[in-house]
Amino acid sequence: MIDCRAIKKTFHMGSASLEALRGVDLLVKAGEFISIMGPSGSGKSTLMNIIGCLDTPSAGTYDLDGRAVAGMSFDQLAEVRNRKIGFVFQNFNLLPYATAAENIELPMLFNGKSARQRRRRVEELLQQVGLLEWRQHRPSELSGGQQQRIAIARALANDPPILLADEPTGNLDSQSGEEIMAIFSGLWRQGHTVIMVTHDAGVAAHSQRTVSLLDGRVVT
Amino acid sequence: MALKLLPFYLGEFKKRRRKTALITFAIAWGSLSILLLMSFGRGLSTQFRVAFRGLGDNLVMLSGGQSSVVYQGLPKGRRLRLYAADIALLRATIPEIEFICAESYNNEAISANGKETNRNVHGVGPLFDLMRSQVPAAGGRFLNPDDERHSRRVAFLGWKVAENLFGAEPPVGRQIMINRTPFTVVGVLKEKMQDSMYQGPDAEQVYVPFATYAQVNSQPYVDRIHIQPRSREVSLRVEERARAVLGRKYRFDSADKYALNAWNTIRDAEEVGKIFSGIEIFLTMIGALTLLIAAVGVTNLMYALAKERTREIGIKLAMGARRRHIVTQFVLETAFIFFQGILWGVLLAFNIVSLVRTIPLNYDNFGIESYLTRPVFSLDILLLFLTIMGALVFMAGIFPAVRASRLNPVEALRYE
Ligand SMILES: Nc1ncnc2c1ncn2[C@@H]1O[C@H](COP(=O)(O)OP(=O)(O)OP(=O)(O)O)[C@@H](O)[C@H]1O
Ligand SMILES: [Mg+2]
């Protein structure tokens, strides 16, 4: 399903350039739960962004469901992000001015779902993450754990097969972190493919297998 | 269709209204200033033209003078008089004349209603009212051709004369004595602005039919002959021809401006026109410079506002927003902001102009306020303003939209 081969990513900052990924191979089958670990700066987020089609590799190939991502246009990538991938960030990345319900609705706005469909799905998801009574609250009125649950609900809005989470528990206390991990485990059991970046071996223990990065390379 | 998301865009715009309020206010303020500048500028020049036309529009007024050069052996300093017969001569020889009439005047003792005063009484020919902007106030009329034909003893009063003699009472139908001869008042001049005159403002004059005047006043010549040319374009030609015709008849050099005075309002109007062109260019320049500053300020504010949204754009892109969703939102937001600001500016300007126009004019003593209290907010001003604002909207909206369209998701999400 996810097939990365010899992925390289180089960042150019003025005259200096930085090789964040130096040839990464990664194969993830549908329904797998994978954790990615590695020290800070090893390229975990960079790899996640590429898998999530937020960024494109400088070299190497990435096939998603048998289609080469390299040839896709900006809007085609947007469509992939919209339908196939749910992204959960360490810092939640919720729209600060929008309510919980409006944040969850966001991905559905970009694929032509009717207002009625959107409302029903938002309701469903709020229920699923146990925040129905918080639907009209803004992110600033929610705890970190609650915000991350809203972010997960948002990632699920279009029911994508793949969930990508970049240190989803990194900003949370251990109690909230446990709750979030329970949600991800549940989603995996329901059939989602889950790829998660973490620093925490306890968190990684929830996954089927762990990929370790060091200086932009996979180490095993 | 991207417009399916209009409720979403509107919703986001509403939530962010506090942030856009400053820009809206700036646009409203700028619009108001520009519109008032244009309206008051237009009103100023309109009022000058109105006042100028208080005397008459497209009028050549002839009166006799004294020759200042020797001509065909005749000495200079000869007095030239015009006679009623000249009217037929001029009409016969100059086809470009539309209307022509004579006027004579003399200071007479006038009494009515137990009051006495001295005023210029003018004998005027038919159509004098058309040529000299003599509009009767409601309830009265000007002298008509029947009055002339039958030498009726009827009089038309300037409004200050009427006020003087009759106070608040209606003068129409009342009798006045002019030099101990009774006349019936048929009308009173409607109040008007007038900034040029020969025997004082029309408000202070008394008019009677020329034929009637000739009976009570034995003066053989006429004081003035008024000519209205067929069009403004032939005005100077008519004046020239009148000089030639009369020069031949009375034997003076037609180039001698002192022998025959010809007051041509078209020539004056051209002078005034130049002054107002100057004033309007000046105001337009001030407006343009003000707008330029405003445009730079607003563009800057819009850009800052757009930058502030970089992270939001990153989030939306990560959630699958297409480029058109982002750009449409920016374009619409710019449109909303400007629409609100412009609407406020236009409404305020319209109301201020309307309010100022209700300030009553004092026709007896019109000073600078008569020129400043009649701003004009016309359609062409609105259209010019909207055109300029259109350019401004484009300028202020294009940079943020282009920047937004070039953002890539990762960079946008990393933006602080
Ligand atoms: N957009 C960018 N421009 C320039 N350099 C970047 C960019 N993104 C990442 N880098 C650099 O690439 C390297 C890898 O970054 P990355 O964010 O992938 O690390 P990470 O493993 O996620 O680290 P952390 O655990 O701190 O999140 C780092 O040195 C980082 O500074
Ligand atoms: Mg990272």
A-chain CB neighbours of B329 within 8 Å are none
Pairing of strands B206-209, B154-157: antiparallel
Determine the residue among B319, B406, B411, B416 to mutate to test chain A binding: the one whose Cβ has the most chain A Cβ atoms within 10 Å: B319
Burial letters B47-65, b for 16+ CB under 10 A, else e: bbbbbbbbbbbbbbbbbbb
Q: What percent of chain A has pLDDT over 70?
A: 100
Q: Which of B7, B312, B320 minimises the CB distance to A107?
A: B320
Task: Summarize pLDDT for B188-197 with one digit per residue, the tens.
Answer: 999 888 888 8
What are the tens digits of pLDDT across the range A49-98? 999 999 999 999 999 999 999 889 999 999 999 999 999 999 999 999 99
Q: Please enumerate in sequence order all residues whose Cβ is within 8 A of that of A55, keeping only pairs 6 or more positions apart, or say none.
A: A9, A46, A49, B408, B409, B410
- Cα(A154)–Cα(A175) distance, integer angstroms: 22
- Predicted-complex ipTM score: 0.95
Q: Which CATH superfamily is domain A30-45+78-218 in?
A: P-loop containing nucleotide triphosphate hydrolases (3.40.50.300)
Q: Residue A75 and residue B4: Cβ atoms within 8 Å?
A: no
Kindly give the confidence (pLDDT) of every residue in chain B, 416 residues in length, as a single tens digit, with 9 standing for 90 and above: 456 788 888 888 888 888 889 889 989 988 998 899 888 888 888 888 777 777 788 899 999 998 888 888 888 888 899 999 999 999 999 999 989 999 999 999 999 988 999 999 999 988 898 888 888 999 999 999 999 999 999 999 999 999 999 998 999 999 999 988 999 999 999 988 888 888 889 999 999 999 999 888 888 899 999 999 988 889 889 999 999 999 999 988 888 888 899 898 888 888 888 888 788 778 878 887 887 888 888 888 888 888 888 999 999 999 999 999 999 888 888 899 999 999 999 999 999 999 999 988 777 666 677 778 889 898 988 998 899 888 888 888 888 888 888 899 999 999 88
Question: Are residues B320 and A74, on separate chains, in Cβ contact within 8 Å?
Answer: no
- Judge: A110–B413 Cβ closer than 8 Å, yes or no: no
User: What is the rounded CA–CA span in Å between residue B269 and residue B51?
Assistant: 11
Q: Is A16 touching ligand 1 by the criterion CB < 6 Å?
A: no
Domain chopping of chain A, boundaries: 30-45+78-218
Ligand sitting nearest the alpha carbon of A24? 1
Q: Cα distance from A109 to chain B (closest Cα, Å)?
A: 7
3-class SS of residue A7: strand
Q: Is the CB of residue A46 below 6 angstroms from any atom belonging to ligand 1?
A: yes
What would the mean pLDDT of A33-60 be, rounded to a whole number?
95
* Ligand 1 in reach of A18 Cβ (< 6 A): yes
B323 alpha-carbon distance from chain centroid = 52
Which uninterrupted H or E stretch holds A126? helix A115-128
* Residue of the CA atom closest to atom 26 of ligand 1: A40
CA dihedral B184, B187, B188, B194 (to 10 degrees): -120
The CB-side HSE value for B179 (13 A sphere, CA atoms) comes to: 14
Residue whose C-alpha is closest to residue B80's, from B211, B230, B237, B253: B253
CA distance A115 to chain B (A): 10
Task: Compute φ and ψ for A18, nearest 5 degrees.
Answer: -130, 125
Q: What is the mean pLDDT of residues A8-35?
A: 94
* Cα four-point dihedral sign B157, B163, B166, B169: positive
**pTM of the entire predicted model:** 0.73
CA of A18 to the centre of ligand 2 (A): 15
